[in-house]
Chains A and B, each alone.
Chain A
Amino acid sequence: MKNNPMASIASFQFPPTYSFPPFFTPQPNATTRLSQLQKWSALIQSWCRHHRIHRLSLIDAVESPLFHNAPLRKRIPLVEARKILDWMAEGEEKGGGGRRAEWIDGGNKTVAWIWWRRPEEWAGILADWIESTGQKNVVLTVYELVEGEETMSKEWHGMDVDVMMKSLNVLVKRGKAQVFGNEGQEGVKFF
């Protein structure tokens, strides 16, 4: 979270549903509830993407404009926010939101990864980038990948190192990369 989220709030365009008061009340009708969860999932993902957030702390988020619509005087309480993230964390086959969220602190459910791109998707993007820039068999440091000048224009620039490691591990499992080095000084070699 290198960027200051507060600075870019003004530029984030909330969807119109955000200013629809019933959007902040859990709906008892199953069909309506599903639509509501889908829209919340989409809103959280686009908001996190806009602010380059991967790790969302719920305690902070319920006070942020994401869950608190000040002009409407409506907010999503912590309990309800957890339910939304729970739904996002479920696979689509289980009627959930397609694992777009993942709890980091397990049972506490206060911090979660928001996968506006899942690690598998990041892995694909990284592999494409390596291929297109001809950096196969070149050793790069992880710091270089995340903070280097070459990746300045890329979406993963400034990405959480943990997310980067998760994505690289996906490539390792596919046999397309090798990670070596010590904690905090990892290097990666793409094949």
Chain B
Amino acid sequence: MFFKPLDLSTALRPSLLPDETLLFVQDAVGLYEGSKYKIPNYQDGHAYLTSHRVSYVAVEEPRKHSVAIDLKDIDRAEYQAGFLKSSPKITLHPKPPKNSSGSKSVGLSRTQSPLVQTSISHLKPSAPTPVNATWICPICSFSNPIPSNFDPSTATATHIPPCLACGIKPPFTTVLKAAITAAAALSHEGTPIISGGSQFGTGESSSHTNGAPDAGQSLVPCPRCTFVNHPSLHECEICGASLSSALDVLNSSQHRAESPAPFFQQGSIKDTEISDNIKLSFRGGGEKIFYERLKGALVQRKWLLYNAPPVPQQPSPNTFPTLTSTTNGSVSTQTRAPAPGIAGLEQRGLEARRNNEVVIGTAFEDLEALMASAKHIVTLAETLARESGMGEEPSLETSVVLSESAAALGMVTTKDMLSSGSENLYLSELSRNLAEYLTDNQKGLLQNEGGIISLIDLWAIFNRSRNGVELVSPADFQRAAELWGSLRLPVRLRRFKSGLLVVQRNDWSDEKTIQQLQDWLLELQQNPPADPEPLSWDWRLFGRAITAQEAAQRFKWSVGVAAEELEMAEDRGILCREEGIEGLRFWGNYITTTPDDLDSGLTRLVI
């Protein structure tokens, strides 16, 4: 398993591969390497789950500290509930290496880690060893015996019996820790067992064997009766409860304070091979949905689609027989002569139910067929979108943008991708989403609109590109747009004097707009007007008037934006207005600043 470098989009989100879809986003996530070591600089970021990867993007310095792990390298994922101060975590287990390099990498990791003691690092309880151990129910504190067939390496699959007292199923880790403690105690007595294939729990075992036998370590309070026991004891002297969890808490809290990072240097962890498992710590919640979708993605194996040949144009024939046969069947039942009376009603109800059954059955078959031909459907949707774009008036650039953006549908963040409580995360993701949508060079939305687009127009285009599903409310939209500044994204929201909100590139300023306008006015002053009607003023001196419509046409702004920009320039004294029967027109400001040849004449007249 590798930490792969991650390409970020302009909005600091992972840029997706072709066919890759975004499944879930969660903020406040930290990365752990091995079982308990925090990776420095990777402790506060967004976790993006896509159909191909698990990506981590740091909040601070995202371009430096962002990595991805391919799902294809992940063997399985494990969920670990939060306990006391420990946040809920998801453990990603790497696939066992196919060649012999696996053992090498284990050796490498061992030498790199000074804290893991080589003598005890791979002590493991093997599956069939009878373990005489107890685990303490976190609910009722009853100490239960660990079943004899409990095997830590396959424990996720095996059934864990509920607590004998309260009947609540224990968290897997509690049982596991208890089992390992017992095994460690066994090994201490002189029956060490060398671990097999799975590396799971090496950190745990080391920590317990570290903690348990050391004399002179701090005393351990019993979690049940709070009696302070000698550290070498594994069961409470008074009540007989296991002390393993208390020991574990002690150890883990000590390690947490230090936050050692044995495997990785302070710098980047990109391209680092990891043989051990990786943990994602979910400090802000959301771990359950992440886990569910991760499991789903691991099952679906969408990454295989990328290299798969396109599905043949004809739908697979085996779907047709079922379809035709069922329709035939339903038709035949319907054509049967209706029986009279109650029997007839019952018969009709029965038929309706049977019909429903068939319809539902075919529907699910269709669904499976749809999934099988997913790639085909996507390409079909794209061509359809392109054709619909062609059918409309080609001059409407927005419609082209719209149809092309249908391909980018997978990129959008929807509310159901995020857990319900994380409104802020939704907004910030939407904000990044919008920034990407705007700055996407392929669509060139902002360029086509002359570098400026009103927020209302953007909202309409954006929602239309979502094809009527998962629409964004105006309030959310505006709040997301207001986040651009604080998220340091390449677009910004600007409020004109009238209150009109527009979206602009970050590097665009009023000065640049004014420069554009002045260049235009100068051009008008230098080129004789095309109008054959003689002008009543000297166009060489004053140039010509410009209207908001003309400005909109020239700079590809919308008329509203053009009017606002002209008024902005007027406000700065660059332009002045003329109100007449032709409407509002703007001129270069020759009231305040007079041309040189004009100035002398005027002063002569005044004096």
Contact = CB atoms under 8 A, between A and B. Distances in A.
Interface of A: 13, 15-17, 19-25, 27-29, 31-32, 35-36, 39, 42, 45-46, 71-74
Given A16-B602, A17-B594, A39-B591, A25 B577 contact: yes
Given A15-B602, A46-B606, A32 B592 contact: yes
B605 A22 contact: no
Contacts of A27: 576-577, 591
Contact of B592 (A15, A35, A74): A35
Nearest to A70: B536
Interface string B553-578: 00000000000000000110100111
A72 B570 contact: no
B536 A20 contact: no
Interface stretch (B226-234, B324-332, B538-546): B538-546
A71 B533 CA distance: 13
Interface in B593-607: 594, 598, 601-602, 605-606
A140 to B, nearest CB: 30
Interface of B: 536-538, 541-542, 545, 570-571, 573, 576-580, 585, 587, 589-592, 594, 598, 601-602, 605-606
Contacts of A36: 591
Contacts of B578: 21-22, 24-25
Given A15-B602, A17-B602, A72-B536, A32 B580 contact: no
8 contacts: A19-B536, A20-B590, A22-B578, A22-B590, A22-B591, A35-B592, A39-B602, A71-B536
Given A19-B536, A29-B570, A74 B602 contact: no
Contacts of A32: 570, 573, 576, 589, 591-592
B592 A28 contact: no
Nearest to B542: A20
Nearest to A36: B591
Contact of B537 (A21, A42, A45): A21
A35 B589 CA distance: 10
Contacts of B541: 16
Contacts of B590: 17, 20, 22
Given A19-B538, A32-B591, A73-B536, A13 B605 contact: yes
A1 to B, nearest CB: 21
Contact of B591 (A35, A45, A74): A35
Contacts of A45: 606
Nearest to B537: A19
Contacts of A29: 570-571, 573, 576
Contacts of A39: 591, 602
Could you say which of A21, A27, A28, A32 has the most chain B C-beta atoms within 10 Å of its C-beta? A21
Contacts of B579: 25
Nearest to B592: A35
Contacts of B576: 22, 25, 27, 29, 32
A8 B594 CA distance: 27
Mostly, the B contact residues are mixed
Contacts of A73: 536
Nearest to B576: A22
A36 B587 CA distance: 14
A64 to B, nearest CB: 17
A49 to B, nearest CB: 10
B61 to A, nearest CB: 45
A25 B585 CA distance: 10
B67 to A, nearest CB: 54
B347 to A, nearest CB: 83
A23 B589 CA distance: 10
Contacts of A31: 573, 592
Contacts of B594: 16-17
B591 A17 contact: yes
Given A19-B537, A25-B579, 18 more contacts: A13-B605, A15-B601, A16-B541, A17-B590, A17-B591, A21-B542, A21-B580, A22-B577, A22-B578, A22-B587, A22-B591, A27-B577, A32-B589, A32-B591, A32-B592, A35-B591, A36-B591, A46-B605
Max chain B Cβ within 10 angstroms of own Cβ: one of A15, A25, A29, A42: A29
Contacts of B577: 22, 25, 27-28
A23 B591 contact: yes
A50 to B, nearest CB: 9
Given A28-B577, A29-B573, A35-B592, A21 B598 contact: no
Contacts of B592: 31-32, 35
A43 to B, nearest CB: 8
Contacts of A23: 591
A88 B538 CA distance: 29
Nearest to A12: B605
Contacts of B571: 29
Per CB-CB distance, the 3 closest pairs between chain A and chain B, nearest first, are: A22-B578, A35-B592, A15-B602
A15 B605 CA distance: 7
Given A20-B587, A35-B592, A74 B598 contact: no
A82 to B, nearest CB: 18
Contacts of B605: 13, 15, 42, 46
A186 to B, nearest CB: 33
Contacts of A13: 601, 605
A38 to B, nearest CB: 9
B344 to A, nearest CB: 83
